[in-house]
Amino acid sequence: MPSKKRSRTTGRSTTLVPSASPPTTAEEQPASTISESRQMSRSLPFDLFFLVMDSFAAAYNLQRCLWNCRALYRTLYSCALTCRSAVKRSQMHLYADVWLWRLKDFLSFERTLRDRPDLGLLVHKLRLHLWPAWELVSDIQAPPLGGDVVARMRNLRKLDIAGFPNLVAANGPPDTRLTAFLGSFSQSSEKITNVTLRVWPFDEYAEILGLSRIFPALQELSLRGVSWASVGRIPSGAALERDNGLRTLALEPTPACFSPQRWNPNMPLGTSSLQRLVFEAPYRKTDQHHYSGLASLSRLVSLYMTFTNEDICLVAAVLRHLQSKKIKRLVFSHRCEGQGRDIALDQLRRLRLDELLSVPPYEELTDVFWVVYCKNDSDADGRWTTGIQKHLQGCVRRGILRHRVSASEVLMTILGPQNPTATTEIDEV
């Protein structure tokens, strides 16, 4: 007789595998399960049932915090248990985005894919948090996921790995185990287009530029809390152009306790084919030439810049060095929790942004976003809105200004999930 399925939970994913000792009679199955399954099959056609499951999955994908996803995860899991016909549909959604952050999750997921190689083909996004699954990198006696398991995920598109904060904080050399583990994905998952590395050590900065060779299909790269011991041998401009298909680069905020390095835009950022750049202004004074490297990004279409308090003055330096004639969208996020509203608005006035955007290459802009994060997101009296529009009248007349005032931004934890940042939210508008 067909075997009944049992479930095994692997962190964020759910594994449905044949039971070793399945019940063989209806009497051995819980009466409530049998009743609900039969009632479901009589009352709701499967095509409608699947549409309901798809809607839950869509809601799941909109959530970016693991804790907020659990209710949706349980709903999809419950759908899988209603009847055998729903198992494959549930697997399709639950395996599309796998999240592993405990040691038992890694072990269970590894065991599952070895038992059921076909499930590896369903994984499109993989998020791995090596810490706290292992407290120290020295605790890793074997690869977090074996090479044979990685090879089963041939449809993997997005890879997000968080390393060890203590290793990066010490500014020590990269561990060969981490290097080999990252390399195992490049050898087996040739379709990866999106890579995110958090608190990840490199021996040389040149290795970061070489990620496009390791992942030949790479289009989006996000680096947060990475470190490097030395600059190394930077490839020539021609080599970068030849080997690099990168379109989006995100240099996300990095607490100094995790990485002593600050990104210097004068260093090569990749290729002139880069179309979207996301970065944070450094929390320190910089000279007027600090952003001169942006001039090499001749095909940049979108620029996202985050700055804090008085660092708003760095916006002018960035805009003066940017030369891309294809630029269409500018997004500025001002985190002014340490300032009052009047001070923040006066800084915007003194920036004279309208004048900066009235000359090439900004004459063809289609969007200018001004996002303010403050202690209190209340704009009941409209003074935030009035002030922003007053100091950006040129953008208002051109019909390109959009703005928002929000409470203090819930910053991404260095290793874990986060609430949507301004950049993500704006992209979805």
Look at residue 181 and tell me if it is in a domain: yes
**What's residue 423's pLDDT?**
40
Do residue 268 and residue 359 come from a single domain? no
User: What is the DSSP secondary-structure string of 122-135?
Assistant: T--EEEEEHHHHSS
The answer, yes or no, to whether residue 351 has pLDDT greater than 50, is yes
380 or 128, which is more confident: 128
Do residue 126 and residue 232 come from a single domain? yes
Q: What are phi and psi of 112, to 5 degrees?
A: -65, -45
The answer, yes or no, to whether residue 91 has pLDDT greater than 60, is yes
* Average pLDDT estimate for 368-374: 93
E strand residue ranges, 54-132: 97-100, 125-129
Look at residue 387 and tell me if it is in a domain: yes
Q: pLDDT per residue over 238-258, tens digit each? A: 666 665 688 999 987 555 545
Determine the Cα–Cα distance for residues 335 and 407; give it in Å rounded to an integer.
Answer: 10
Look at residue 24 and tell me if it is in a domain: no
Determine the Cα–Cα distance for residues 343 and 352; give it in Å rounded to an integer.
Answer: 15
Do residue 38 and residue 88 come from a single domain? yes
Please report which confidence band the pLDDT of residue 263 belongs to, taking 50, 70 and 90 as the band edges.
low
50 or 315, which is more confident: 315
Look at residue 296 and tell me if it is in a domain: yes
**What's residue 71's pLDDT?**
67
The answer, yes or no, to whether residue 305 has pLDDT greater than 80, is yes
Do residue 79 and residue 177 come from a single domain? no
Q: pLDDT per residue over 198-237, tens digit each? A: 988 888 888 888 888 889 899 999 988 887 878 888 776 6
CATH number at residue 178: 3.80.10
Quickly count helices (H) and strands (E) in the chain.
19, 15
Of 255, 251, 408, the C-alpha closest to 335 is: 408
Are the beta carbons of 180 and 145 closer than 8 angstroms?
no
Are the beta carbons of 221 and 192 closer than 8 angstroms?
no
Strand partners of residue 194: 158, 220
**What's residue 248's pLDDT?**
93
Do residue 206 and residue 177 come from a single domain? yes
Domain boundary pick from 274, 299, 324: 274
Please report which confidence band the pLDDT of residue 311 belongs to, taking 50, 70 and 90 as the band edges.
confident
- Cβ neighbours for 122, distance < 8 A, ≥ 6 positions apart: 91, 92, 95, 96, 155
Do residue 297 and residue 359 come from a single domain? yes
- State percent of the chain over pLDDT 70: 67
Determine the Cα–Cα distance for residues 85 and 285; give it in Å rounded to an integer.
Answer: 62
* Average pLDDT estimate for 411-427: 41
Do residue 260 and residue 300 come from a single domain? no
- Our count of domains for the chain comes to 3
Q: Which amino acid is at 245?
A: G
38 or 75, which is more confident: 75
The answer, yes or no, to whether residue 277 has pLDDT greater than 70, is yes
**What's residue 10's pLDDT?**
42
Are the beta carbons of 277 and 249 closer than 8 angstroms?
yes
Do residue 266 and residue 352 come from a single domain? no
63 or 138, which is more confident: 138
The answer, yes or no, to whether residue 324 has pLDDT greater than 80, is yes
**What's residue 53's pLDDT?**
67
Of 370, 268, 354, the C-alpha closest to 319 is: 354
Do residue 193 and residue 243 come from a single domain? yes
- State percent of the chain over pLDDT 90: 37
**What's residue 82's pLDDT?**
77
SS3 for 15? strand
Of 277, 207, 291, 279, the C-alpha closest to 246 is: 277
How many Å from the N-terminal Cα to the C-terminal Cα in the chain? 52
Determine the Cα–Cα distance for residues 103 and 274; give it in Å rounded to an integer.
Answer: 37
Q: pLDDT per residue over 160-207, tens digit each? A: 999 887 765 555 566 788 889 999 998 777 899 999 999 888 888 888
Residues in the chain: 429
**Omega of the bond prior to 22 within 30 degrees of 0, cis?**
no
Look at residue 76 and tell me if it is in a domain: yes
Tokens of 268: 């090569």
Determine the Cα–Cα distance for residues 13 and 227; give it in Å rounded to an integer.
Answer: 31
Determine the Cα–Cα distance for residues 407 and 378; give it in Å rounded to an integer.
Answer: 8
Cβ neighbours of 386 (radius 10 Å): 12
SS3 for 279? strand
SS3 for 303? strand
Determine the Cα–Cα distance for residues 189 and 249; give it in Å rounded to an integer.
Answer: 21
**Omega of the bond prior to 173 within 30 degrees of 0, cis?**
no
Domain boundary pick from 274, 302, 322: 274
Domain boundary pick from 223, 248, 274: 274
Tokens of 32: 């409530």
Look at residue 310 and tell me if it is in a domain: yes
Q: What is the 3-state secondary structure (H, E, C) of 231-273?
A: CCCCCCHHHHHHHCCCCEEEECCCCCCCCCCCCCCCCCCCCCC
352 or 67, which is more confident: 352
* Helix or strand run (H / E) with residue 38: helix 31-43
Q: pLDDT per residue over 10-59, tens digit each? A: 444 444 433 333 333 333 444 444 444 444 445 556 666 667 666 666 66
Tokens of 46: 């499967």
Look at residue 394 and tell me if it is in a domain: yes
Do residue 206 and residue 180 come from a single domain? yes
Q: Rounded to the nearest 10 degrees, what angle do helices 87-94 and 66-82 cross at?
A: 160
* Average pLDDT estimate for 312-338: 92
Do residue 270 and residue 293 come from a single domain? no
Q: Which single residue is written with the structure tokens 């009589």?
A: 42
The answer, yes or no, to whether residue 85 has pLDDT greater than 90, is no
**What's residue 94's pLDDT?**
83
The answer, yes or no, to whether residue 128 has pLDDT greater than 70, is yes
* Average pLDDT estimate for 385-401: 97
Q: What is the mean pLDDT of the chain?
A: 77
Of 175, 165, 131, the C-alpha closest to 258 is: 165
Range of the domain at 331: 282-429
Do residue 225 and residue 88 come from a single domain? no
